[in-house]
Chain A
Amino acid sequence: AQSVTQLDSQVPVFEEAPVELRCNYSSSVSVYLFWYVQYPNQGLQLLLKYLSGSTLVESINGFEAEFNKSQTSFHLRKPSVHISDTAEYFCAVSDSRTGGFKTIFGAGTRLFVKA
C-alpha cells in the first residue's frame, strides 16, 4: 500500500532564509508525486508535481522539488521564503492501480515564516 511521510509537522523559518520540507513515500509501483499548499480557510492548491521525465520540478513562485527514486523522497525547497509563504504544505502520491483517483496525502507541514 502507498503511504506518505512528512517528517516535520512544523517548520519555523525567518524571512529570506532557505527552507526544505521533507517528504518520503512508499509504493511498490511507479508513482506520481504532488505538493499542495493550503492557506488558512482555503482549499488546497497544486504547487508542483512529478509525473515523469526530469526529476527536478519547479513552481512559478520559486519552489522546487526533486524526485529521488533511490531514497523514495520528494523534498520541497525554496531558496528564500516570504511571509506570504506561511501555509500548510501537503505532499501527496497517487498511482494508476485504483484508476488513478486515489491520492494519499501526508500529514502536512506547517511552514511559519517570521519577520
Chain B
Amino acid sequence: DTEVTQTPKHLVMGMTNKKSLKCEQHMGHRAMYWYKQKAKKPPELMFVYSYEKLSINESVPSRFSPECPNSSLLNLHLHALQPEDSALYLCASSQVTSGKGTQYFGPGTRLLVL
C-alpha cells in the first residue's frame, strides 16, 4: 500500500468556522508533512512531524494547528481562516532517512475560505 489518503477532498468554510483536515498512511513512514499549494505555484512546506513530534514549523500562522495523534494519522485544525488561505492542502509522508526519503503525496484537500 503506497497510498496517502486525505479527507475531505473539498472544503468550503467561513472565516469564523473551525474545521479539520485529515491525512492517513499505512506505509510505516515516520515522517509526515503538510504543504500549502496555491494555483500555478509549487507546494510550500508548512509543518513536518518526525516520530509523531513536530520538527519543523515554517512560521505558519497560529490559525493552522497541526496534530499527529499516531504514526499513521496527521490532522490540520483550521480556525478563523482568511480568504487568502484558500488553497490546495497536501499531505505527504516519507521514511526518516536524512533527506533521501521519497515523499508520497496525497491528492490534497481543496479549501475555499469565504
Chain A contacts to B: CB under 8 angstroms: 32, 34, 36, 41-46, 49, 51, 90, 94-96, 98-103, 105-108
CB distance from A48 to the nearest CB of B (A): 10
Across the interface, do A32 and B100 meet the contact criterion of CB distance under 8 Å? yes
Across the interface, do A44 and B31 meet the contact criterion of CB distance under 8 Å? no
Across the interface, do B42 and A90 meet the contact criterion of CB distance under 8 Å? yes
Given contacts A94-B99, A99-B98, A101-B31, contact A44 B43 (CB under 8 A): yes
Given contacts A43-B90, A44-B90, contact A102 B56 (CB under 8 A): yes
- Chain B residues with CB below 8 A from A96, complex form: 98-99
Number of A-B contacts (CB under 8 A): 65
CB distance from A26 to the nearest CB of B (A): 16
CB distance from B31 to the nearest CB of A (A): 6
Best-surrounded residue of B50, B100, B104, B106 (most CB of chain A within 10 A):
B100
Q: For the complex, what is the distance from the CA of A99 to the CA of B54, rounded to whole Å?
A: 12
Q: For the complex, what is the distance from the CA of A94 to the CA of B42, rounded to whole Å?
A: 15
Tell me if B21 is interfacial: C-beta within 8 Å of chain A. no
